[in-house]
Structure 1
């Protein structure tokens, strides 16, 4: 049974991952709230990735998997963005992950082979208007993950999931009526936007031994958006 730490698993993609991993793993969820976790077979640790230092004393000495979920969707014209917006996006998406990984490094290296899963965005590889702040933060994650994977191979595997728009509370303003949902679906070659289960299943695969020969990769779970042209 693997010891898995999920940062930010109280709603959206994180909650879907917690549900996916709870069977057959010893799952710890570090998040601000736990209302949605009460019926799951997980251990909750109060934690705010933007302000708190992770208390590793509440965790097992060996951690086999780490998934960092906190993120942001801050879409505004570049000229309207103040430097604070870039710093905030970088903090929650990237710096928060760095702090968690550094504090957890002894636990991760104590495993025979641990796995780290981070989250980017389709916006990091595609030039998309109004995405300058979030694309910069997610781009930092992708470069960091590859360097970290190289430095700690073969002891720690590091991979990144880069979704397109996914139906989560964070994305609600982009999918809160039928017209928006239809427009978003049509932008993707597979003609639908993402679900939390789409992402959770990939995270489960990357944290498991089934992906034991995979590291330093960016997985575009995006309905084909980043590589395929939309017909018509």
Structure 2
């Protein structure tokens, strides 16, 4: 199996995906800001390279391309933001930062890896997974900045899925609120978290493992006939209303 690059692979959905891909036998290359957490993840996972850096640094992606190797079996861009605020309080700096981290980072990650992904594609194609949010399809108040950025991710994925086929498959996972370190600002308040959970048909919030199960599948050869898809892992939140 060829190596899979995971941006944001030291915590939350990224680390959970890394663990599941390792159980499938994939060697990995992790990318994250915190060198200490990177070293800990590499020690846990084994057969894993790493690059430390911030996705807001445009030079990072060239370094990853060089260090991860010239043949890749997949790429997971599990980096994101959750900046929620009413429209008057969203600054231009926040909106630009959300776009840079969520959308532009995803673009640069795929762009820099495209040649290696094509080289390592094999019969099933190389699997790329990007992340959106239920707030793009559903529309929630105070989500303008992150929904705008993640909506761009969905458009990017559809365009690249068409352009890079058949060698590279690109799919998007769109979770609802998930219990991860990134969402702790919301989920640590159990009263608030329970109220949000009750809005879901399955009556709970998602876990990193719920989302990673789909992400690792989409990378794998089992998803060889899937590309250009935006798939919710959202407890029914985007489609179902169980209360009037």
TM-score, normalising length from structure 1?
0.96
Q: Match for residue 150 of structure 2?
A: 138
Unmatched tracts of structure 2, length 5 or more: none
Q: Match for residue 6 of structure 2?
A: 6
Q: Match for residue 65 of structure 1?
A: 74
The reply on whether 1:159 has 2:145 as its aligned counterpart is: no
Whole-angstrom CA distance in 2 between matches of 1:102 and 1:176: 36
The reply on whether 1:178 has 2:190 as its aligned counterpart is: yes
Contact 2:129 2:172 in 1 (8 A): yes
Per-residue displacement from partner, 1:105-155 (whole Å, max 9, x unpaired)? 110111222111000000111110000000000000101101110111111
CA root-mean-square deviation: 1.2
CA drift at 1:2: 2.7
Per-residue displacement from partner, 1:147-203 (whole Å, max 9, x unpaired)? 110111111100000000000111112111331231121011110000000011001
- Higher-helix-fraction structure: 2
Q: Match for residue 102 of structure 1?
A: 111
Contact 1:30 1:45 in 2 (8 A): yes
Contact 1:11 1:36 in 2 (8 A): no
Q: Match for residue 117 of structure 1?
A: 129
Whole-angstrom CA distance in 1 between matches of 2:169 and 2:145: 27
Q: Match for residue 39 of structure 1?
A: 44
Whole-angstrom CA distance in 2 between matches of 1:95 and 1:59: 20
Contact 2:2 2:71 in 1 (8 A): no
State how many pairs are aligned: 232
CA drift at 1:44: 2.0
Contact 2:73 2:117 in 1 (8 A): yes
CA drift at 1:102: 1.3
Contact 1:118 1:160 in 2 (8 A): yes
Q: 1:149 aligns with which of 134, 140, 161?
A: 161
The DSSP-based 3-state class of the residue aligned with 1:48 is: coil
Whole-angstrom CA distance in 1 between matches of 2:29 and 2:214: 19
Whole-angstrom CA distance in 1 between matches of 2:187 and 2:146: 19
Per-residue displacement from partner, 1:15-73 (whole Å, max 9, x unpaired)? 11111112301111011121541322222221211114221221121111000011000
The DSSP-based 3-state class of the residue aligned with 1:64 is: strand
Unmatched tracts of structure 1, length 5 or more: none
TM-score, normalising length from structure 2?
0.92
Q: Which moved more, 1:102-111 or 1:211-220?
A: 102-111
Taking the TM superposition and a 5 Å limit, the aligned residue runs for 1:78-97 are 78-97=87-106
The DSSP-based 3-state class of the residue aligned with 2:242 is: coil
* Runs of 4+ more than 2 Å apart: none
